[in-house]
Amino acid sequence: MDVIEELDNPHVPIAQACAALGVSRAALYRQTRPAPPRPAPSPRRLSDPERKAVLDVLHSDELVDQPPPEVYATLLSRGVNLASIRTMYRLLAASGESGERGAARAAWAD
């Protein structure tokens, strides 16, 4: 690919140079294009201590067997709002504690 860039000859089209070397133009342009910038983290993202506090509540003896909507409702009835239901699900998924339960049961044998 560097050979094509070094040519820099206006009389040799890039398409012909790529065809002669067996390289696609898309690959050439993909290599020369700078990588897109990474998205900045959201300013509303929970800090590490806040995440730990939410996970501690979800792991507490009283609430460990309840799903996030029930945990959220219980906390709201106490006047505590740590995170949204969706955020609780995200935190559980990130720690590998939430997911599909399809293989949890054995199939019915007929």
Q: How many CB atoms lie within 10 A of CB 91?
A: 20
pLDDT, one tens digit per residue, over 80-105 is: 999 999 999 999 999 998 866 666 66
* pTM greater than the 0.75 cutoff: no
8: which 2 tokens? 């820099």
Q: Measure the CA dihedral 4/6/9/14, to 10°.
A: 20
Residue recorded with tokens 């909507």: 69
**Chain segment 14-36, per-residue pLDDT in tens:** 888 888 888 888 988 888 888 88
Domain residue ranges of the chain, discontinuous segments joined by +: 2-32, 48-95
